[in-house]
Amino acid sequence: MNLDPTKMKDWEIAEAAEQHMKTVYQLGEELALEKEELLPYGHYVAKIDYAKALERLKDRPNGKYIDVTAITPTPLGEGKSTCAVGLMEGLGKRGKKVIGALRQPSGGPTFNIKGSAAGGGLAQVIPLSKFSLGLTGDINSIMNAHNLGMVALTARMQHESNYTDEQLAQRGLKRLNVHPKSVEFKWIIDFCAQALRNITIGLGGRMDGLTMQSGFNIAVSSEIMAILAIANDLKDLRERIGRIVVAYDRTGKPITTEDLEVAGAMTAWMVEAVNPNLMQTIEGQPCLIHAGPFANIAIGQSSVIADKIGLKLGDYLVTESGFGADIGFEKFWNLKCRFSGLKPNCAVVVATIRALKCHGGAPIPRPGRPMPEEYNSENVEWVEKGTVNLLHHIETVKKAGINPVVCINAFYTDTKNEIEAVRRLCEDAGARVAVSEHWLKGGDGALEFADAVVDACNEENNFKFLYDLDMPLRQRIELITKEVYGGDGVVYTPEAEKKAEAMEKDPELSKLGTCMVKTHLSLSDNPNLKGVPKGWKLHVRDILTYKGAGFVVPVAGAISLMPGTGSDPAYRRIDVDTATGKVKGLF
């Protein structure tokens, strides 16, 4: 294939590459999957029956486990998915049996500013349209399961307001006494819909539901998505869904989906979704797609199930954690690895000259606007100043007991002097550095990158968690703030302080993990503070309970669980060729 990313758009490259795709049957044969373990969804996408595959492969040793994370990104993203795919292609060129485990893109960014999460240039997952537009329906299943829980809750609140205890008993119901101002759950939708953040429901008559304040979050922030990411099997998923806290009664007692007798029906929506999806890179490496993005407002990891299958099927498994190492890698390190029992062999920190310039003093790029002209010319001083952010993330990875590999995701506008400055500073800090041109050259451009990762995987590491679950919640939050973010401490709103005190006294909640919600655009909770901010404190305004997933969620700064759609969204450029039915304009 003669594909030139400098002259073709990502969707045009994907469309051309799709003419030469392997079928899922070929992929299954290369992975040595049994016929009944492969569940085709057409010719080029399939699910894998995880239970059958893992049972058959349980005695096979695991391959090498590689996590891809990044520095603090610009609002445009720095190409973590592209680097993960490029690494797969580079390892493939080196003759390694490699498989990926990436996250399914959300419709929110796909139709908004950032676009899909398929990679870019010659480092993409295909077929692009299928990947970007719902895939096999996992996110739809999550939306239906989650919203069914909300339907059960609001219906129960209406009936309890309309019926006496005796009338409820005649219907086989016991009064739950839900406090309408203590409802934890909201509705979800897989778009960035700021108009739905705060709504009033139940307007009308007594048969139209109880009038109360409610709202929507984006689908991938749902606790059910988090459960899908960390569950070990369907049984585990069912038990966790039953522990989801949807509201509190008037005495402060939690009310779960099991109390609403809806947990089983919610799980019924997830029976197919629990199986990972099988796709491929442009160069034919197999890639498992499972669970969702947004590590700033969710756990943001590919699933434990996908990782466990991938480690049995390949000699190298490449997975990805959302956004920077302060967010995605910290959750991979202290949550996902704790739940899975898996230990990584290597962590990659992705950096771009563009982002380093941003941290070093260049104008901050704005989504939907042209890149500032300053980024088109050499400025080694900005790059060197901005490298402090990269060095901070290198130290974060080292605190997990891992020697990181820095991947400079090369743009054709980067200069030799800028790249060499980054290499020198990172090597002085004790990190391996590789320059990769996978976007431009595919696997051939990622050979240095692949070699560095193989070398790192052959080293012994001393992987360890940042905190023990016996550590009190507020002490944990302060430790993450100081050791990972570089802050001076934590400030709580009265509501968050009250919740933290109650959680620390609760024998169940006090042992849950900690899943931080914070802007991805800064190490701090202020997205405008670049580099490595000093002299600041983390402002925690709320703490949510995700008892089913197994963690509590401190919410810092002004971040929202429902992003907004910008003024120049991607959907303006997406259309369909009505003659062929092919989607064009995705990126």
Select from 268, 287, 312 the last residue of a domain. 268
pLDDT at res. 98: 98
Would you place residue 370 in the very low, low, confident or very high pLDDT band (cuts 50, 70, 90)? confident
pLDDT at res. 412: 83
Select from 268, 289, 309 the last residue of a domain. 268
Q: Which of 300, 504, 56 is nearest to 48 (CA)?
A: 56
Provide the CATH number for the domain around residue 54: 3.40.50.300
The more confidently predicted of residues 430 and 367 is: 430
In this predicted structure, the answer to whether residue 368 has a pLDDT above a threshold of 80 is no
Q: What is the pLDDT of residues 536-550, one digit of tens each?
A: 999 999 999 999 999
Instruction: Quote the pTM value.
Output: 0.95
Instruction: Looking at the structure, tell me whether residues 324 and 395 fall in a common domain.
Output: yes
Average pLDDT over residues 331-348: 97
pLDDT at res. 586: 86
Instruction: Looking at the structure, tell me whether residues 18 and 83 fall in a common domain.
Output: yes
One-letter amino acid identity for 585? G
CA-to-CA separations, 345 to 30, 109, 288, 459, 461, in angstroms, rounded: 24, 31, 19, 8, 7
Q: Which of 297, 302, 323, 200 is nearest to 562 (CA)?
A: 297
Active site residues: 80, 82, 103, 114, 295, 323, 411, 439
Instruction: Looking at the structure, tell me whether residues 434 and 547 fall in a common domain.
Output: no
Would you place residue 371 in the very low, low, confident or very high pLDDT band (cuts 50, 70, 90)? confident
Residue 448 lies in a domain: yes
Domain with 152 in it: 138-268
Q: What is the pLDDT of residues 245-280, one digit of tens each?
A: 999 999 999 999 999 999 999 999 999 999 999 999
Query: And the tokens for 280?
Result: 């491929």
Domain count, the chain: 3
Q: Which of 377, 431, 437 is nearest to 409 (CA)?
A: 437
Residue 374 lies in a domain: yes
DSSP letters spanning 369-412: SPPPGGGGS--HHHHHHHHHHHHHHHHHHHHTT---EEEEE--T
Would you place residue 568 in the very low, low, confident or very high pLDDT band (cuts 50, 70, 90)? confident
Helix (H) / strand (E) containing 432: strand 432-436
Select from 244, 268, 292 the last residue of a domain. 268
In this predicted structure, the answer to whether residue 514 has a pLDDT above a threshold of 90 is yes
Residue 580 lies in a domain: no
Q: What is the pLDDT of residues 147-185, one digit of tens each?
A: 999 999 999 999 999 999 999 999 999 999 999 999 999
Mean pLDDT in the chain? 95
pLDDT at res. 116: 82
In this predicted structure, the answer to whether residue 295 has a pLDDT above a threshold of 90 is no
Instruction: Looking at the structure, tell me whether residues 207 and 337 fall in a common domain.
Output: no
Residue 569 lies in a domain: no
Sheet holding 178-183, edge to edge: 178-183, 245-249, 254-256
In this predicted structure, the answer to whether residue 419 has a pLDDT above a threshold of 80 is yes
Would you place residue 117 in the very low, low, confident or very high pLDDT band (cuts 50, 70, 90)? confident
Instruction: Looking at the structure, tell me whether residues 170 and 224 fall in a common domain.
Output: yes
Residue 31 lies in a domain: yes
Residue 399 lies in a domain: yes
In this predicted structure, the answer to whether residue 75 has a pLDDT above a threshold of 90 is no
The more confidently predicted of residues 34 and 566 is: 34
Instruction: Looking at the structure, tell me whether residues 32 and 127 fall in a common domain.
Output: yes
Residue 577 lies in a domain: no
Provide the CATH number for the domain around residue 532: 3.10.410.10
Provide the CATH number for the domain around residue 154: 3.30.1510.10
Instruction: Looking at the structure, tell me whether residues 163 and 129 fall in a common domain.
Output: no
Query: And the tokens for 453?
Result: 């990762």
pLDDT at res. 413: 86
Instruction: Looking at the structure, tell me whether residues 442 and 490 fall in a common domain.
Output: no
pLDDT at res. 76: 80
In this predicted structure, the answer to whether residue 283 has a pLDDT above a threshold of 80 is yes
In this predicted structure, the answer to whether residue 405 has a pLDDT above a threshold of 90 is yes
Average pLDDT over residues 477-482: 98
Instruction: Looking at the structure, tell me whether residues 142 and 264 fall in a common domain.
Output: yes
Residue 63 lies in a domain: yes
In this predicted structure, the answer to whether residue 73 has a pLDDT above a threshold of 90 is yes
In the 3-class helix/strand/coil scheme, how is 537-572 assigned residue by residue? CEEEEEEEEECCCCEEEEEECCCCCCCCCCCCCHHH
Helix (H) / strand (E) containing 497: helix 494-505
pLDDT at res. 498: 96
Instruction: Looking at the structure, tell me whether residues 261 and 284 fall in a common domain.
Output: no
Instruction: Looking at the structure, tell me whether residues 492 and 346 fall in a common domain.
Output: no
pLDDT at res. 423: 96
Instruction: Looking at the structure, tell me whether residues 351 and 308 fall in a common domain.
Output: yes
Average pLDDT over residues 388-411: 96
